[in-house]
Amino acid sequence: MLEVLDNGKPYAEAINLDLPLSIQCYRYYAGWADKISGSVINPSGPVAKGNFGYLEREAVGVVGQIIPWNFPLLMQAWKLGPALATGCAVVLKTAPQTPLTANRVGELIVEAGFPAGAVNILPGDDDTGKIVAGHEGFDKIAFTGSTGVGRKIMESAAKSDNLQRVTLELGGKSALIIDESADMDLAVNTAGLGLWLNQGQCCCASSRIFVHESRYDEFCLRIAEVAKAKPVGAGYGEDHKTLDGNGKGWPQGPQVSQEQFDSVSGLIAKGVEQGAKLMAGGSRFGDKGYFIEPTVFTDCKDDMTIVKEEIFGPVMSVLKYKDTEEVIKRANASNYGLAASIVSKDFNKARNIAKRLRAGTVWINCYDTFDAALPFGGFKASGIGRELGEAGLSAYTESKTMVVGQSGF
């Protein structure tokens, strides 16, 4: 309920998705804590031959972490889990819009008996974030948020005396490809989940839907019907206690703030201005709060603002394509590369497309399928490094090579 009050997301999402995934992440990395090991190396070169070599992995040091407002509890777990498992101390800065669940976790950390100073929760505004990003006392900075801020953090880290390590999980403009063989029920459900989860406030949201020309009209009509029927309202209302909104489809809450509401509304207006066809939504829902109707644009072109820029709201752009080579080229024609999805009954075709998409995660016949064991991160302007899985540990360790000579013992 703290997450609902803080972020505005529906209670059903918080209790069935955010909370279980957060718990799983902590348990997963707790299991790694005593299994982070090195390796033995047998040198064979002309100088080191006969000596004994081994590799150790040790904590990178003190880490500054900055998390976003869209999944406050889960993003906290993604950051704290691997850092603590590797032995790093953490200063975690929360988003100014959503401090409550992080503060509660901080209370639980004290109650659990963590050593003083191991975890430090720092609520604050953007200026506080700049202090964390520019502080020379950190050995590493981990950030999740916009690509623009990520670039500034890289600049700051490059100027630090110790050349701080940086990992960045940034924005996206993910493509979802629906081919001519796709099961249409699955395609509509996948696209709806991929775009409207968390009010569209997901870095990997399926905001570019490419549909084969033979199925385009059918998909557009079906997804518009889903958008129009989607329940919208306060996250703690009676219709939001179950994941399907009591049979009405995934519930949708408000945008997180006035600023976000205004940004999304402005981009919707831009879509209309540039000639996209508004099939559903496009307006404010109700007369108070930051609610925006689930929105579907069709007849979209690749050069439209709503197709190129990350919206971070419940706005879907549907595009038509003719053949596989064309759609791969268009899907990759973005500065972002966080995620993608393919809906198809032809596995070999889907697999071959997936291999050619420049994205860190590609889902086939599903979307937003997360697990603590599955690494997540992006290509290109969508970030540097990976979170989750064993790969998520590497960013919080340094490798140290040890060589022992045979003489002297």
Beta strands in 336-391 (DSSP E): 336-337, 339-343, 361-364, 379-380, 383-384
Evaluate whether residue 372 is within a structural domain.
no
Give residue 108's pLDDT: 97
Count of structural domains, the chain = 2
Same domain, 349 and 231: yes
Same domain, 189 and 160: no
CATH value at residue 235: 3.40.309.10
Same domain, 64 and 200: no
Task: Read off the pLDDT band of 352 (50, 70, 90).
Answer: very high
Question: Per-residue pLDDT for 53 more than 70?
Answer: yes
Evaluate whether residue 253 is within a structural domain.
yes
Same domain, 196 and 303: yes
Name residue, tokens 């509401």: 261
Phi/psi of residue 150, each to 5°? -60, -40
Same domain, 142 and 183: no
Burial 382-395 (b: 16+ CB within 10 A, else e): bbbbbbbbeebbbb
Evaluate whether residue 376 is within a structural domain.
no
Question: Both ends of the chain: CA-CA distance in Å?
Answer: 62
Task: Read off the pLDDT band of 3 (50, 70, 90).
Answer: very high
Same domain, 284 and 356: yes
Give residue 246's pLDDT: 43
Same domain, 161 and 179: no
Same domain, 44 and 161: yes
Give residue 245's pLDDT: 44
Same domain, 194 and 242: yes
Expressed as residue numbers, the domain containing 289 is: 175-364
Same domain, 319 and 393: no
Evaluate whether residue 377 is within a structural domain.
no
Give residue 395's pLDDT: 93
Evaluate whether residue 128 is within a structural domain.
yes
- Per the model's pLDDT, the better-predicted residue between 58 and 243 turns out to be 58
Same domain, 200 and 348: yes
Same domain, 166 and 224: no
Give residue 250's pLDDT: 59
The C-alpha atoms of residue 366 and residue 363 are separated, in whole angstroms, by 6
Evaluate whether residue 370 is within a structural domain.
no
Evaluate whether residue 48 is within a structural domain.
yes
Q: Which residues are catalytic?
A: 169, 203
| Segment 154-179, tens digit of pLDDT | 999 999 888 999 999 999 999 999 99
Evaluate whether residue 375 is within a structural domain.
no
- Per the model's pLDDT, the better-predicted residue between 66 and 252 turns out to be 66
CATH value at residue 142: 3.40.605.10
| Segment 8-28, tens digit of pLDDT | 999 889 999 999 999 999 999
Greatest CA separation for the chain: 81
Give residue 235's pLDDT: 75
Task: Read off the pLDDT band of 240 (50, 70, 90).
Answer: low
What value does the mean pLDDT take over residues 308-336? 98
The C-alpha atoms of residue 232 and residue 253 are separated, in whole angstroms, by 6
Task: Read off the pLDDT band of 408 (50, 70, 90).
Answer: low
